[in-house]
């Protein structure tokens, strides 16, 4: 009955009502139905199960396995490699037919989907998008060792795809993907000369570690990825912290036998589950065609390569002319077969001639010796408006590098399954078409650009200061202006100089050079019988040679290596031998770089960017950020600065010092300064009670000045000592658990007279002009303390304590409010003075002098005079220093004769009279021979956010 009732209710209601009532999920086609799950039928003896094959082995105390047959059965080859709880699937497929071409169309795709670590992508579509930089780099890491092992003439399209199935975060899946790809090629029917083994080596405290975990790798000073066959090296990729050539050789000698351990399991797996290799048609050039084209072009090509006066493009035009002449000769003979392979045949002839001349004569196409580096030109600071810049040329290769500094919040966010979540140093390499005089279309991420940029980034990362000492984001842009070989190593040299030009405290210069190889092998055994090592190879020598061995480092050691080869492996002994000429070439380049810039710049320029780190409590930072960050964004919009918020820290990035001053003024107005017991601060009296006075500090903090702390003498009324609006220097004597501040005026006086200054500015404080009254010497003389010179882009850590003083002169609005409060008190005096003559200047001064000595600012005392009295005084004595000028009476354009009260690093503190102080910033053409006490004719040009008058010089008429 219950079942019938349920069915009746379901059929009588709309479909969407019943579906949502029972909380079933909906699908994209909007169809709703109940799915019955029938009982699974038991397996019968005739049921065919999946047949899988597995090989397990151990390397470096880690259990590793290869498995095939369970997944991706339709692929030509599919292998799952597992290490701990990390699993990677690599598949390979090949096109059944090939179209006429002269290259191998091999594609390697590596992908890390977020499901591998149990995460849903944080994108709008909740899907993975275009390949990220790390995925492109891992794809290159797989491609480089397997590409040379395909047989010559095999031009079928091949695609290798590697996917991370699961990741425990302990192992980097890139090396696993490469080994799994090798195993997939071994069991497929594609002709391939493998297998290949790849391994990672680390080093901690001088001890090499095989297959290090990610935690171990973070402590290691070496990240060596090594790929090889049984007896030859296929690929090397190194990131190190200035490792010596001797130690690197030891690491390579250890890596080779460990990588070979991956080969035997692959061979066993292929013997169990491998397919028979198919007979593919190889696109081979007939020897008769090769001989014919060699006879037509050989002598002319050799004449071009024997002339060192040819430049890159002149040589290319001469070779193209030869190719066109050969083509015309073949067309006259109607030799279609030779015409089809003309391009490949001419390139082969060029290769044979260049290699023979190097092996037999030791002659290079540009006339250099085998170990000679091309002429080097370097220039730093060529774009002074940027944070850092350099121009580096080596031969015809030229690179422009720039440096941009940013706040910690500008760091690049990473979404890989392993590794850090962000990186604060980036090097972006760009290879525009005009650098090789071609027309091309700029697109998105390019594998070559990403690979070259990452190599240069690894090389420079080793000399950067630690992030806790230099916690700022750095971006280096490498723009290739002209290319004739090894632009990635030129990017290393240019990037190193640009970093020093930016004032970043790098430890040493980094230079890079590319080493090539030309070898001759036995046609039967493939053993190398003769070879020559070339230093600083040209683009043509890279194309026609056997390897491109890029090595970057300092004078102390190697920081990055990338080895790419073209033959089916190179003996490790030759690789180790190549390190010595690379070291000698690197030293030559470093000598030229050090002539251009030897150390990080320390000059302080007007338009140089400023970086500062302020320390506040988290509650203060919350007040600054505001609801949903609105207040922080408002400050950034108004000033153009960038503010990054951390745990107890606030990092400011400003384009110049003036913007930094504005930002810090706004921050001080909102947050104020952290109050410490025993420090002296300046504040303004906001209200007076019977038991004491409340004083407000900049930023809104309020403290209580009790009657007992006003003076050592008995005080009957608080108003006899202080008045509303009066500025006082007070000492914090206590902070209770609720944050209430207790202040003392009498102890502040003692501190002022027993120390050189009341509140000394922090050495690493902000660059706002400090108050002239921070020095309590009683005479206002310049103490002679040398101001700290701020280096270019110095990362000054600013502590918000009482040591950071600033102007607390009231604004016009505050003065108006004060005058309203004193209106009743002044009304009697105004009526009595209306019928009398204005007092003289001496009388006015005497009236001001009757205020209590506890006041350090005479503004409030002078404000008790009738305005008409002060006005009449100014009418007669407006040009003298010391007349009763008040802050609220100072307007834009007002001209006064001021005295130099204090000399700062970037300007002056001026005494405008009546206890009023103003500031003047030095200009480019200012005469710096100014002494304390000198009189200057100035006029008011602006006010700061705190009401501080900013003065400018009045030109002599």
> Which structure tokens are listed for 739?
């944050």
Question: What per-residue confidence (pLDDT) applies to 239?
Answer: 96
User: Is residue 945 very low, low, confident or very high in pLDDT (cuts 50, 70, 90)?
Assistant: low
- How far apart CA 510 and CA 512 sit, in angstroms, is 7
3-state secondary structure of 837: coil
> Which of these, 658, 651, 577, 608, lies nearest to 793 by C-alpha position?
608
Question: What per-residue confidence (pLDDT) applies to 887?
Answer: 59
Helix (H) or strand (E) holding 296: helix 287-305
Question: What per-residue confidence (pLDDT) applies to 816?
Answer: 53
- Minimum mean pLDDT range among 67-76, 200-209, 304-313, 897-906: 897-906
> Which structure tokens are listed for 403?
């440096």
Backbone φ and ψ for 517, nearest 5 degrees, come out as -145, 135
Question: What per-residue confidence (pLDDT) applies to 825?
Answer: 46
| CATH T-level topology, domain 376-596 | Ribosomal Protein S5; domain 2 (3.30.230)
Question: What per-residue confidence (pLDDT) applies to 791?
Answer: 38
User: Is residue 827 very low, low, confident or very high in pLDDT (cuts 50, 70, 90)?
Assistant: very low
Q: Which CATH class is domain 894-953?
A: mainly beta
User: Is residue 785 very low, low, confident or very high in pLDDT (cuts 50, 70, 90)?
Assistant: very low
Q: What is the dihedral sign for C-alpha 150, 151, 154, 155?
A: positive
Share of the chain above pLDDT 70, in %: 77
User: Is residue 836 very low, low, confident or very high in pLDDT (cuts 50, 70, 90)?
Assistant: very low
Higher-confidence residue: 395 or 49?
Answer: 395
Helix (H) or strand (E) holding 23: none
Mean pLDDT of 121-140: 89
> Which of these, 417, 429, 489, 451, lies nearest to 139 by C-alpha position?
451
3-state secondary structure of 795: strand
Mean pLDDT of 677-699: 83
> Which structure tokens are listed for 153?
């003439």
> Which structure tokens are listed for 393?
């040329």
Helix (H) or strand (E) holding 417: none
Q: Which residue ranges does the chain devote to CATH 1.10.10.400?
A: 287-361
Q: Which residue ranges does the chain devote to CATH 3.30.230.70?
A: 53-200+241-273, 376-596
3-state secondary structure of 292: helix
3-state secondary structure of 110: strand
Q: Which residue ranges does the chain devote to CATH 2.40.50.140?
A: 679-752, 894-953
- The answer, yes or no, to whether residue 344 has pLDDT greater than 80, is yes
- Minimum mean pLDDT range among 304-318, 822-836, 866-880: 866-880
Higher-confidence residue: 558 or 469?
Answer: 558
**Residue spans of beta strands (DSSP E) within 646-767:** 649-654, 680-688, 692-697, 702-706, 727-735, 741-744
Query: The domain at 679-752 falls in which architecture?
Result: Beta Barrel (2.40)
Contact status, residue 273 vs residue 68, Cβ threshold 8 Å: yes
Contact status, residue 216 vs residue 224, Cβ threshold 8 Å: no
> Which structure tokens are listed for 695?
């004083």
- How far apart CA 286 and CA 501 sit, in angstroms, is 57
- Minimum mean pLDDT range among 518-522, 670-674, 685-689: 670-674
- The answer, yes or no, to whether residue 483 has pLDDT greater than 90, is yes
Q: Is 351 exposed, middle or buried (0-12, 13-18, 19+ CB in 10 A)?
A: middle
- The answer, yes or no, to whether residue 528 has pLDDT greater than 50, is yes
Mean pLDDT of 571-585: 95
Chosen CATH of 610-671 out of 3.30.1370.10, 3.30.43.10, 3.40.50.1000, 2.40.30.110: 3.30.1370.10
Q: Report CA 15 to chain centroid distance, whole Å.
A: 56
- How far apart CA 698 and CA 165 sit, in angstroms, is 58
* Residue that the structure tokens 């039967």 belong to: 524
Question: Taking the domain 287-361, which CATH number applies?
Answer: 1.10.10.400
User: Is residue 409 very low, low, confident or very high in pLDDT (cuts 50, 70, 90)?
Assistant: confident
- The answer, yes or no, to whether residue 267 has pLDDT greater than 90, is yes
> Which of these, 685, 800, 681, 688, lies nearest to 733 by C-alpha position?
681
- How far apart CA 781 and CA 117 sit, in angstroms, is 67
Mean pLDDT of 753-766: 39
Q: Which residue ranges does the chain devote to CATH 3.30.1370.10?
A: 610-671
* Residue that the structure tokens 């292998």 belong to: 79
Backbone φ and ψ for 69, nearest 5 degrees, come out as 100, -15
Q: 413-447: per-residue pLDDT in tens?
A: 888 888 888 899 999 999 999 999 888 877 777 88
User: Is residue 766 very low, low, confident or very high in pLDDT (cuts 50, 70, 90)?
Assistant: very low
Higher-confidence residue: 861 or 385?
Answer: 385
- How far apart CA 798 and CA 635 sit, in angstroms, is 19
Contact status, residue 347 vs residue 323, Cβ threshold 8 Å: no
What residues form DSSP beta bridges with 239?
A: 223, 560
- The answer, yes or no, to whether residue 852 has pLDDT greater than 50, is no
- Minimum mean pLDDT range among 198-207, 296-305, 713-722, 889-898: 889-898
Contact status, residue 373 vs residue 513, Cβ threshold 8 Å: yes
- How far apart CA 58 and CA 847 sit, in angstroms, is 95
772-805 b/e with 16+ CB inside 10 Å = b?
Answer: bbbbbeeebebeeeeeeebbbbbbbebbbbbbbb
Q: Which CATH class is domain 53-200+241-273?
A: alpha beta
> Which of these, 715, 777, 780, lies nearest to 745 by C-alpha position?
715
> Which of these, 491, 484, 478, lies nearest to 397 by C-alpha position?
484
- The answer, yes or no, to whether residue 515 has pLDDT greater than 70, is yes
195 cis-preceded (ω within 30 degrees of 0): yes
Contact status, residue 106 vs residue 190, Cβ threshold 8 Å: no
**Residue spans of beta strands (DSSP E) within 10-153:** 53-59, 62-68, 77-83, 86-94, 106-111
Question: What per-residue confidence (pLDDT) applies to 924?
Answer: 63
Give the mean pLDDT of the chain: 79
Higher-confidence residue: 331 or 186?
Answer: 186
Higher-confidence residue: 683 or 265?
Answer: 265
Question: What per-residue confidence (pLDDT) applies to 229?
Answer: 95
- The three-point CA angle 499-502-503 to 5° equals 95
> Which structure tokens are listed for 887?
């802050």
Q: Is 400 exposed, middle or buried (0-12, 13-18, 19+ CB in 10 A)?
A: buried
Task: Using only the alpha carbons of the chain, give its radius of gyration.
Answer: 39
Question: What per-residue confidence (pLDDT) applies to 713?
Answer: 84
Half-sphere exposure of 391 (CA within 13 A, CB side): 10
User: Is residue 385 very low, low, confident or very high in pLDDT (cuts 50, 70, 90)?
Assistant: confident
- How far apart CA 501 and CA 603 sit, in angstroms, is 10
- The answer, yes or no, to whether residue 813 has pLDDT greater than 90, is no
- The answer, yes or no, to whether residue 28 has pLDDT greater than 70, is no
> Which structure tokens are listed for 474?
């750095």
User: Is residue 24 very low, low, confident or very high in pLDDT (cuts 50, 70, 90)?
Assistant: low
In whole angstroms, how far apart are CA 55 and each of 256, 264, 735, 870? 21, 10, 70, 100
> Which of these, 908, 919, 909, 849, lies nearest to 884 by C-alpha position?
849
- Minimum mean pLDDT range among 39-53, 187-201, 642-656, 699-713: 39-53
Half-sphere exposure of 306 (CA within 13 A, CB side): 10
Half-sphere exposure of 444 (CA within 13 A, CB side): 6
237-265 b/e with 16+ CB inside 10 Å = b?
Answer: bbbbbbbebebbeebbebbbebbbbbbeb
Long-range contacts of 693-697, Cβ-Cβ distance < 8 Å, separation of 24 or more: 693/718, 693/722, 695/728, 695/730, 695/743, 697/672, 697/673
- The answer, yes or no, to whether residue 769 has pLDDT greater than 80, is no
Higher-confidence residue: 871 or 491?
Answer: 491
Q: 347-377: per-residue pLDDT in tens?
A: 999 999 999 999 999 899 988 999 999 999 9
- The answer, yes or no, to whether residue 268 has pLDDT greater than 60, is yes
């Amino acid at each position: 009955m219950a079942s019938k009732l349920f069915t009746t209710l379901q059929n009588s209601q709309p479909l969407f009502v019943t579906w949502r009532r029972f909380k079933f999920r909906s699908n994209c086609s909007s169809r709703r139905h109940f799915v019955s799950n029938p009982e699974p039928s038991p397996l019968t003896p005739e049921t065919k199960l999946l047949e899988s094959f597995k090989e397990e082995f151990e390397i470096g105390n880690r259990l590793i396995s290869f498995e095939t047959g369970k997944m991706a059965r339709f692929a030509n080859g599919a292998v799952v490699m597992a290490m701990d709880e990390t699993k990677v699937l690599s598949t390979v497929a090949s096109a059944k037919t090939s179209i006429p071409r002269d290259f191998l169309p091999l594609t390697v795709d590596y992908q890390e989907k977020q499901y591998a670590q149990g995460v849903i992508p944080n994108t709008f579509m909740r899907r993975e998008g275009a390949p990220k930089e790390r995925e492109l780099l891992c794809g290159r890491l797989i491609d480089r060792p397997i590409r040379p092992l395909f047989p010559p003439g095999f031009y079928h399209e091949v695609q290798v795809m590697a996917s991370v199935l699961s990741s425990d975060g302990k192992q980097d899946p890139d090396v696993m993907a490469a080994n799994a790809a090798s195993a997939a090629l071994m069991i497929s029917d594609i002709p391939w000369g493998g297998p290949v083994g790849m391994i990672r080596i680390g080093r901690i405290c001088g001890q090499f570690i095989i297959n290090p975990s990610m935690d171990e790798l973070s402590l290691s000073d070496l990240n060596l990825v090594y790929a090889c066959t049984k007896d030859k090296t296929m690929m090397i990729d190194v990131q190190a912290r200035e490792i010596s050539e001797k130690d690197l050789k030891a690491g390579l000698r250890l890596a080779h036998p460990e990588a070979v351990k991956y080969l035997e399991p692959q061979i066993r797996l292929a013997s169990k589950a491998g397919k028979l290799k198919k007979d593919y048609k190889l696109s081979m050039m007939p020897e008769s065609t090769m001989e014919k084209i060699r006879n037509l072009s050989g002598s002319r090509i050799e004449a071009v390569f024997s002339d060192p006066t040819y430049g890159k493009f002149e040589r290319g035009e001469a070779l193209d002319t030869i190719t066109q002449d050969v083509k015309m000769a073949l067309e006259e003979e109607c030799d279609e077969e030779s015409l089809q392979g003309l391009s490949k045949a001419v390139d082969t002839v060029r290769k044979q001639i260049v290699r023979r001349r190097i092996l037999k004569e030791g002659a290079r196409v540009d006339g250099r010796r085998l170990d000679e580096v091309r002429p080097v030109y370097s220039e730093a600071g060529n774009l002074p408006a940027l944070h850092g810049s350099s121009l580096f040329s080596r031969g015809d290769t030229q690179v422009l590098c720039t440096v941009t500094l940013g706040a910690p919040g500008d760091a690049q966010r990473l979404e890989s399954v392993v590794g850090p979540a962000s990186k604060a140093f980036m090097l972006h390499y760009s290879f525009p078409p005009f650098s090789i005089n071609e027309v091309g279309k700029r697109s998105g991420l390019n594998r070559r650009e990403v690979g070259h940029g990452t190599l240069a980034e690894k090389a420079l990362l080793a000399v950067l200061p630690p992030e806790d000492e230099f916690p700022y984001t750095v971006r280096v842009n490498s723009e290739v202006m002209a290319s004739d070989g090894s632009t990635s190593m030129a990017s290393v040299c240019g990037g190193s100089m640009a970093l020093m030009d930016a004032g970043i405290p790098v430890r040493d210069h980094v230079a890079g050079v590319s080493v090539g190889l030309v070898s001759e092998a036995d046609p039967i055994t493939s053993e190398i019988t003769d070879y020559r090592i070339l230093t600083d190879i040209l683009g043509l020598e890279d194309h026609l040679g056997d390897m491109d061995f890029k090595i970057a480092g300092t004078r102390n050691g190697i920081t990055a290596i990338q080895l790419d080869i073209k033959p089916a492996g190179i003996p490790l002994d030759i690789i180790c031998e190549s390190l010595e000429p690379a070291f000698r070439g690197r030293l030559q380049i470093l000598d030229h770089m050090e002539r251009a810039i030897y150390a990080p710049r320390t000059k302080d320029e007007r338009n140089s960017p400023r970086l500062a780190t302020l320390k506040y409590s988290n509650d203060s930072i919350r007040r600054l950020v505001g609801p949903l960050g609105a207040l922080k964004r408002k400050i950034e919009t108004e000033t153009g600065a960038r503010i990054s918020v951390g745990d107890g820290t606030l990092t400011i990035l400003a384009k110049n010092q003036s913007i930094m001053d504005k930002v810090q003024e706004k921050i001080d107005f909102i947050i104020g300064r952290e109050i410490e017991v025993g420090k002296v601060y300046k504040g303004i009296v906001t209200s007076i009670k019977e038991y004491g006075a409340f004083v407000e500090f900049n930023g809104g903090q309020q403290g209580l000045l009790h009657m007992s702390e006003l003076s050592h003498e008995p005080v009957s009324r608080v108003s006899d000592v202080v008045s509303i609006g009066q500025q006082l220097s007070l000492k914090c004597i206590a902070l209770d658990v609720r944050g209430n501040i207790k202040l003392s005026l009498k102890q502040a006086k003692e501190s002022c007279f027993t120390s050189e200054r009341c509140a000394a500015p922090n050495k690493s404080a902000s660059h706002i002009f400090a108050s002239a009254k921070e020095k309590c010497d009683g005479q206002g003389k310049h103490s002679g303390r040398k101001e700290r010179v701020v280096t270019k882009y110095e990362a000054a850590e600013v502590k918000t304590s009482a040591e950071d003083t600033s102007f607390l002169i009231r604004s016009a609005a505050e003065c108006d409010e004060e005058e309203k409060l004193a209106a009743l008190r002044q009304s009697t005096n105004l009526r009595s003075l209306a019928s009398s003559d204005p007092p003289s200047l001496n009388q006015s001064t005497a009236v001001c002098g009757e205020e209590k000595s506890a006041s350090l600012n005479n503004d409030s005392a002078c404000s008790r005079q009738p305005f008409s009295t002060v006005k009449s005084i100014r009418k007669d004595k407006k040009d003298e220093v010391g007349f009763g000028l008040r802050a609220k009476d100072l307007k834009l354009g007002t001209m006064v004769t001021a005295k130099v009260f204090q000399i700062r690093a970037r300007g002056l503190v001026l005494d405008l009279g009546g206890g009023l102080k103003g500031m003047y910033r030095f200009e480019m053409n200012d005469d710096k021979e100014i002494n304390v006490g000198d009189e200057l004719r100035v006029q008011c040009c602006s006010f700061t956010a705190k009401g501080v008058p900013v003065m400018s010089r009045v030109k002599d008429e």
